[in-house]
Chain A
């Protein structure tokens, strides 16, 4: 029987106690850790424990060896639970047998303290309100430290401590700093390790997604073996392994107007690493309404924008440039228009650089300027971003005074879009159909005689586009076809239409006409 056991289900202590029975022993001390109903002032409903098992077992055996060497005991055993634990469940059990009670108590105390500090075990607390947080504070951090026991934190920062702008004082500022990263996708998974490695003391991660295979081309923090697992938790583990002195907090709820103030309250600075307008505008508004500066990056294919929204500066906000988000679907995100992997990596690193400059009080920040960078040309542009007196958020008479859901409007029906359901069958049969999807995305039936003209190489002069019969253009969602229809209309061709709803709408009409 091994001296340390990981139990994935509730366990009885008797077999472990029996293994300690020894007639030389006059004392037997035990410790049990139970799941309690509160932590840090919050009501806890249950817990999940997760361990890196091989490391946890190796480390626990080492702790038991140390106890055996330090104290006059005969034997010691320990058990740690994993999986879901209910209130009152036994989370840890430790038993020590010794000739005398003093040594038994001291060894037992030593073992539980070291287990709490050194075992790579994560705890997810589920609160009475229904939300949950992975706790990976010092008490539960996977301590790579224990494998390199002589590691001193300042050794990690030797190369940057030498910079005159940093030094001991700057490093202490970083250690005290608490930075929240919203979104652990392309931007977040580049920004987070840069901040962790630089010694930012506390990182919060907001992310509710699981790792998808399509993430890996730009999110180098993750591994293909972890597809399907929660990204926030994977990131927390990786960041703690990178810098064991880091405190990582995971927020696995979606950020919204209701929980925004509560989550942001624990942080000095926010990195907006999201990829949707609703959250970008929410964080932009929060920067002013809650007074927490937000370093914002947004990408489009090979290009990106970087800026800091800071109510304490005289710089403008996102709404000073774009008073409201564009209609849904009008501007593609990475999933829709694609992105080269190095673009988020670069911009995530730039966000980390801006955050460090801010925390260290260095000049040249972007609180009143915006940086545009195009990787296709390697051209950078930097624009001053003054406040607009008529801005609804940061202007002279603001009308936005509380955090609310930023509504991303549906695009109004364009007069060059058609709803196929409203068109008679004869017209549909007599029309020319053009499929703008790329070969790899084509699936499902299309009308007979459909021409294929992938939008990627769009050329208005290609045969098929010339004025002729009524022409219906379609793509996957209706965005590219709208674009193409606009281009053809701009040439003065009038009978060309974009199919609203894309290929699905086309398929629906085929099914219907077949019936």
Chain B
């Protein structure tokens, strides 16, 4: 178990009903973490349609997570 700081953007914030939270998880990658959250909260987008930033930079969904990482899930948006 490690603590991860989560932030949600746009559609995901709406679906989660929260902008940020800290969770304890055994997920080793953003992909695993997203699947875990999607199951719990009923996210509508599949993992391959969601972008992720870890700390200061965009990253791949398969990068290894470390304790206290700030993970931001970013769905595609197109409004204008």
Contact = CB atoms under 8 A, between A and B. Distances in A.
B10 interface: yes
A471 to B, nearest CB: 15
B53 A383 contact: yes
Contacts of A337: 79
A247 B50 CA distance: 41
A482 B44 contact: yes
Interface in B10-64: 10-11, 13-15, 19, 39-45, 48-51, 53, 56-58, 60
Interface string A336-365: 010100001000000000000000000000
B80 A275 contact: yes
Contact of B79 (A298, A316, A381, A388): A298
Given A301-B10, A482-B44, A187 B60 contact: no
Nearest to B57: A384
A297 B80 CA distance: 7
A303 B77 contact: yes
Given A301-B10, A483-B44, A490-B40, A384 B77 contact: no
B78 A277 contact: yes
Interface string A273-289: 11111001000000000
Contacts of A381: 7, 53, 72
A331 B11 contact: yes
A486 B58 contact: no
A299 B79 contact: yes
10 contacts: A275-B79, A303-B13, A325-B78, A326-B49, A331-B75, A331-B76, A333-B80, A383-B72, A483-B42, A489-B42
The 10 closest A-B pairs by CB, nearest first: A486-B42, A299-B79, A275-B80, A300-B10, A490-B42, A321-B51, A384-B57, A300-B77, A383-B53, A334-B79
A370 interface: yes
Contacts, number: 122
A428 B60 CA distance: 45
Interface in A293-342: 297-301, 303-305, 316, 320-327, 330-334, 337, 339
Contact of B11 (A272, A300, A377, A384): A300
Contacts of B78: 274-277, 280, 298, 325, 331, 333
Contacts of B9: 300, 303, 372, 374
B74 interface: yes
Contacts of A316: 58
B39 A486 contact: no
A280 B72 CA distance: 22
Contacts of B43: 486
B19 A321 contact: no
Contacts of B42: 483, 486-487, 489-490
Contacts of B15: 483, 486-487
Contact of A372 (B48, B74, B79): B74
A173 interface: no
Contacts of A502: none
A374 B75 CA distance: 14
Given A326-B76, A330-B44, 9 more contacts: A185-B80, A275-B78, A299-B77, A323-B48, A325-B76, A372-B74, A384-B56, A486-B43, A487-B41
A208 interface: no
A384 B74 contact: no
Contact of B39 (A305, A383, A490): A490
Interface in A161-196: 183, 185-188
A257 interface: no
A353 B78 CA distance: 20
A221 to B, nearest CB: 14
B80 A326 contact: no
B67 to A, nearest CB: 20
A139 interface: no
Contacts of B11: 300, 331-332
A161 to B, nearest CB: 32
Contacts of B10: 300-301, 303, 331
Interface string A375-400: 01101010111101000000000000
A388 B48 CA distance: 15
Given A377-B19, A384-B57, A490-B42, A300 B79 contact: yes
B60 A388 contact: yes
A191 B48 CA distance: 32
Given A483-B15, A487-B42, A320 B58 contact: yes
Among B10, B40, B45, the most chain A Cβ lie within 10 Å of the Cβ of B10
A361 to B, nearest CB: 25
A321 B9 CA distance: 14
Contacts of B14: 301
A316 B74 CA distance: 15
Contacts of B50: 322
A159 B57 CA distance: 37
Given A301-B10, A372-B74, A486 B80 contact: no
Contacts of B80: 183, 185-188, 272-275, 297-299, 333-334, 344
Contacts of B49: 322, 324, 326-327, 330
Contacts of A326: 45, 49, 75-76
